[in-house]
Amino acid sequence: MMMTPIKTSPSDTSIGNSLVQPQQQQLNQARSRVGHSSLALLQAFIAGLSFMGLLTFLTSSNTGTNTSLPVPVGTVIKSLHSNSTTSASSSPPSTISNSTSSISSWCPHSSNRSINSISCHNTDLCHPCQRRFLIIIASARSASTTLTWMLDTLPQLRMSGENKNVLYNMMTLHQSLWQNRQFQVASKNKNAFGHNPIPKQTFACAVQQIVQSFNPPLLDPSNQQTLQQTPQEEQETIIGFKTIKFDLNHKDNNNNKDDSNTSVVILDKTTRQMMDFVRDNLPCSRILVNINSNVTRQAMSQESSGIARSMNPEELELRNQRLRRIQQRFGDHHAHLLDAQQWTNNVTVLNQALDWLGYSPECHFQEVLQFNTVNRYRNGKTEMSQQPNPNCRLMV
Ligand SMILES: *[C@@H]1O[C@H](CO)[C@@H](O)[C@H](O)[C@H]1NC(C)=O
Ligand SMILES: *[C@@H]1O[C@H](CO)[C@@H](O)[C@H](O)[C@H]1NC(C)=O
Ligand SMILES: *[C@@H]1O[C@H](CO)[C@@H](O)[C@H](O)[C@H]1NC(C)=O
Ligand SMILES: *[C@@H]1O[C@H](CO)[C@@H](O)[C@H](O)[C@H]1NC(C)=O
Ligand SMILES: *[C@@H]1O[C@H](CO)[C@@H](O)[C@H](O)[C@H]1NC(C)=O
Ligand SMILES: *[C@@H]1O[C@H](CO)[C@@H](O)[C@H](O)[C@H]1NC(C)=O
The verdict on the CB of residue 21 being under 6 Å from ligand 1 is: no
Residue 395 CB–ligand 6 contact under 6 Å: no
Displacement of CA 365 from its chain's centroid (Å): 22
Q: Where are the domains of the chain?
A: 71-81+99-363
Q: Which CATH code of 3.40.50, 3.30.70, 3.40.1400, 1.10.287 fits the domain covering 71-81+99-363?
A: 3.40.50
Ligand closest to 259 (CA) is 4
Minimum CA distance residue for ligand 3 atom 1? 112
- C-alpha count within 13 angstroms, C-beta hemisphere, residue 277: 25
Please list the rounded mean pLDDT of every run of 10 residues in the chain (396 residues): 41 33 42 44 43 38 38 46 35 35 61 56 92 96 96 98 96 93 80 89 97 97 95 96 88 51 75 94 95 95 85 92 94 94 97 97 96 84 91 93
In tens, the pLDDT along 132-161 reads: 999 999 999 999 999 999 999 999 999 999
Give Cα separations from 313 to 210, 303, 377 (angstroms): 36, 11, 21
Rounded distance, CA 240 to CA 282, Å? 11
Ligand number with the minimum distance to the CA of 347: 6
User: Does the beta carbon of 292 sit less than 6 angstroms from any atom of ligand 5?
Assistant: no
Radius of gyration of the chain (CA): 21
User: How many Å lie between the centroid of ligand 6 and the Cα of residue 246?
Assistant: 29
Q: Answer yes or no: is the C-beta of 102 below 6 A from any ligand 2 atom.
A: no
Q: Considering the chain, what is the average pLDDT of its residues?
A: 76
- Determine if the pTM surpasses 0.75: no
pLDDT of residue 16: 30
**DSSP code per residue over 19-40:** GHHHHHHHHHHHHHHHHHHHHH
Our answer on whether the CB atom of 68 is closer than 6 Å to any ligand 2 atom is no
- Per-residue pLDDT reduced to its tens digit, 168-177: 999 999 999 9
Give the integer Cα–Cα distance in Å for 131 and 206.
12
pLDDT given at position 2: 39
Cβ–ligand 6 contact at 346 (below 6 Å) = yes
Residue 73: the pLDDT is: 57
